[in-house]
């Protein structure tokens, strides 16, 4: 357009426009109705429901898109997996079109149940308000669900209990997908499926498998079965490659038990939609007709096809178990501590998603994002390599890690003996030492914001505050430090919660004694009570 404008000698400087010239060009284009023709060229995506902004501030000119396929798929999954729960009789089943899904989550019970289905025992059932619900107790349930979702690694930035109580579709679907995805991917581990070692390529070690994302592992799994089936087809994505149902047909035949009656008759059907339906009928024989419709397969809807494949893997991996124990497995399996840190990072909204601490932090980019959250502006992004050249990528990643250690020292972290090379190499002990201090700094930064004093909070002040609250409420418990042995059974935490919000803790539900089981009982109760009252925990 500018070149055409130049050719007409309407610009003072060739290749550049002044503001007046730009304004004249806009009027010229409007007169030719270019805007109208542009709208005709840009087509709207199918099966998208567009919703206006849902707050007073955003209702003007703001839209959110909701995929009807996701609405239908998630509703079907909920009906299938939670339909027999007696606590959900008043909510399920959801209608076949999923229109009522957004109303069903408003009391928080369904969300809590979905979280427990994806990550068992995340929420103690005693903490869920189930009867004689009021606006207040529903809000408690939603707060419990949101903070529990964050604790398992969901990013809930810009979502609060008020949003869910209104059933905002785009927020509900986004949260549901994260919870369901975490549940589906939880089992794609060596602990749950030792046969994953069979997916290693020549020359690879178990450590290399840990570096792969769940999506990458699923692609390897699919291609493993395609190779076993004798076909030349290979799967590189869960969109265009699976749209003709051929890969799915071979996969289902390969993973099916001999007596399941799964056939490859789908390949006889020339119409892709009809072929997808026949293929899904075979999946139903394995109890795995979930998430996708024939249309979703043909259109290559990524999320739903990914969920479909993950569900197939979880139910029928069909991988040979390795002979004997896997050498070195105990040293690379994710520990509870590592999982806690990983969930915390993902809940902060870092990108890309952290799957394995030691490989995903090796370029420093995740660490920089965390620094920027803890103390906005501390990262000089001009010093950070965000994209890596082929020839210098190793040096650039090392430079990032060196800068990450430098920033830690600026925040007065204890980093004696820790160098950028250690982070780049994925040294477990030294990487965890930095991550622990990052998480601690984040917690203290939140407390500093709440105190509104402008001065950084220190642990001594927190201990003093805790003891004052306990004493003022007439509690007999107290702590001397965060290493105090009295914290082990969490009784003091329960007392603190009840001091802050009298009547919150039902002490009749808490066992007395000194056993490890009692300690776990206290800890679980204290964590759930604090989460329900809006205080987030990542402790396990």
For the stretch 475-481, contacts whose Cβ atoms lie closer than 8 Å and that sit 24 or more positions apart, written own/partner, are: 475/499
Q: Is position 111 within any domain?
A: yes
What's the gap between Cα 417 and its chain centre?
33
Task: Please compute, for residue 480, the number of CA atoms within 13 A of its CA located in the half-sphere on the CB side.
Answer: 4
Residue 75 · residue 85 · CB < 8 Å:
no
Q: Is position 327 within any domain?
A: no
pLDDT the model gives residue 522: 44
Angle of CA points 74, 77, 80, to nearest 5°: 150
Determine the angle formed by the axes of helices 272-285 and 246-255, rounding to 10 degrees.
10
Maximum distance among all alpha carbons in the chain? 91
Does the pLDDT at position 182 exceed 50?
yes
467 and 441 together in one domain: no
Does the pLDDT at position 516 exceed 90?
no
447 and 464 together in one domain: no
d(CA 382, CA 384): 6
| Closest residue by Cα to residue 396 from 405, 404, 386, 406 | 386
Mean residue pLDDT of the chain comes to 86
pLDDT the model gives residue 14: 57
Question: pLDDT digit string (tens) for 415-434?
Answer: 999 999 999 999 999 999 99
Q: Is position 274 within any domain?
A: yes
Question: pLDDT digit string (tens) for 327-346?
Answer: 666 667 889 999 999 999 99
Boundary of a domain, candidates 382, 417, 451: 451
Does the pLDDT at position 4 exceed 60?
no
Q: Is position 427 within any domain?
A: yes
Domain with residue 347: its CATH number is: 1.10.418.10
Q: Return left, alpha or beta for 481; rule: phi > 0 is left, psi -120 to 50 is alpha, else beta.
A: beta
* Phi, psi of 271, rounded to the nearest 5 degrees: -75, 125
| Closest residue by Cα to residue 185 from 334, 26, 287 | 334
Residue 536 · residue 156 · CB < 8 Å:
no
**Mean pLDDT comparison of 21-25, 45-49, 96-100, 321-325, highest-scoring range:** 96-100
Question: pLDDT digit string (tens) for 255-310?
Answer: 999 999 999 999 999 999 999 999 999 999 999 999 999 999 999 999 999 999 99
d(CA 83, CA 428): 43
Q: Is position 539 within any domain?
A: no
Does the pLDDT at position 9 exceed 80?
no
d(CA 436, CA 420): 16
Q: Is position 58 within any domain?
A: no
105 and 162 together in one domain: yes
What predicted TM-score, i.e. pTM, was given to this entire model? 0.81
Residue 373 · residue 384 · CB < 8 Å:
no
d(CA 313, CA 144): 31
Integer CA distances (angstroms), 349 to 68, 179, 372, in order? 25, 14, 12
Q: Is position 281 within any domain?
A: yes
pLDDT over 70 for what percent of the chain?
A: 80
141 and 235 together in one domain: no
| Closest residue by Cα to residue 153 from 127, 115, 193, 107 | 115
Q: Is position 52 within any domain?
A: no
d(CA 344, CA 366): 12
Find the domain containing 440 and state its range.
Answer: 334-451
358 and 437 together in one domain: yes
pLDDT over 90 for what percent of the chain?
A: 66
Structural domain count of the chain = 5
Does the pLDDT at position 460 exceed 90?
no
pLDDT the model gives residue 321: 87
Does the pLDDT at position 80 exceed 60?
yes
269 and 365 together in one domain: no
Which tokens hold the place of 108? 């928080």
Could you tell me the pLDDT band of residue 486, with boundaries at 50, 70 and 90?
Answer: confident
């Amino acid at each position: 357009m500018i070149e055409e404008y130049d050719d007409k000698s309407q610009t003072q400087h060739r290749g550049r426009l002044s503001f007046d010239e730009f304004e004249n060009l806009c009027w010229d284009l409007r007169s030719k109705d270019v805007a109208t023709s542009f709208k005709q060229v840009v087509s709207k995506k199918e099966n998208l429901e567009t919703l206006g902004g849902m707050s007073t501030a955003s209702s003007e000119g703001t839209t959110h898109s909701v995929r009807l396929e996701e609405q239908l798929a998630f509703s079907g999954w909920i009906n299938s997996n939670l339909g027999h729960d007696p606590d959900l009789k008043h909510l399920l089943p959801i209608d076949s079109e999923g229109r009522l899904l957004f109303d069903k989550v408003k009391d928080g019970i369904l969300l809590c149940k979905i979280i427990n289905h994806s990550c068992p025992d995340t929420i103690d059932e005693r903490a869920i308000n189930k009867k004689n619900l009021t606006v207040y107790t529903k809000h408690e349930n939603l707060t419990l669900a949101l903070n529990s979702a964050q604790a398992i690694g969901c990013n809930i930035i810009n979502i609060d209990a008020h949003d869910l109580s209104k059933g905002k579709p785009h927020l509900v679907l986004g949260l549901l997908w994260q919870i369901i995805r975490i549940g589906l991917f939880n089992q794609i581990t060596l602990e749950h499926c030792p046969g994953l070692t069979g997916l290693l390529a020549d020359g690879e070690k178990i450590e290399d498998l840990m570096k792969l994302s769940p999506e990458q592992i699923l692609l390897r799994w699919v291609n493993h079965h395609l190779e076993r089936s004798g076909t030349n087809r290979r799967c590189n994505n869960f969109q265009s490659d699976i749209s003709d149902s051929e890969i799915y047909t071979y996969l289902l035949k390969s993973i099916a038990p001999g007596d399941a009656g799964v056939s490859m008759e789908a390949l006889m059907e020339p119409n892709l939609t009809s072929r997808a339906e026949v293929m899904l009928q075979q999946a139903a024989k394995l109890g795995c007709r979930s998430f996708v419709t024939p249309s979703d397969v043909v259109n290559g809807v990524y999320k739903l096809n990914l969920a479909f494949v993950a569900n197939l893997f979880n139910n029928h991996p069909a991988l040979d178990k390795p002979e004997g124990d896997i050498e070195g497995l105990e040293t690379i399996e994710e520990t509870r501590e590592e999982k806690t840190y990983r969930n915390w990072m993902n809940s902060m909204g870092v990108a890309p998603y952290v799957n394995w601490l030691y490989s995903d932090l090796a370029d420093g980019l995740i660490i920089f994002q965390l620094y920027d959250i803890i103390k906005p502006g501390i990262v000089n992004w001009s010093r950070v390599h965000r994209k890596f050249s082929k020839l210098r990528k190793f040096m650039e990643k090392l430079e990032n890690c060196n800068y990450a250690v430098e920033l830690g020292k600026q925040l007065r972290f204890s980093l004696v003996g820790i160098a950028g090379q250690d982070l780049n190499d994925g040294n477990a002990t030294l990487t965890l030492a930095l991550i622990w201090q990052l998480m601690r700094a984040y917690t203290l930064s939140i407390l500093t914001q709440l105190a509104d004093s402008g001065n950084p909070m220190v642990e001594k002040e927190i201990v003093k505050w805790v003891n004052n609250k306990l004493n003022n409420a007439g509690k007999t418990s107290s702590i001397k430090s965060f290493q105090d042995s009295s914290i082990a059974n969490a009784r003091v935490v329960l007392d603190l919660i009840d001091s802050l919000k009298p009547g919150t803790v039902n002490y009749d539900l808490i066992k007395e004694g000194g056993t490890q089981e009692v300690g776990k009982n206290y800890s679980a109760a204290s964590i759930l009570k604090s989460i329900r009252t809006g205080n987030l925990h990542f402790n396990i």
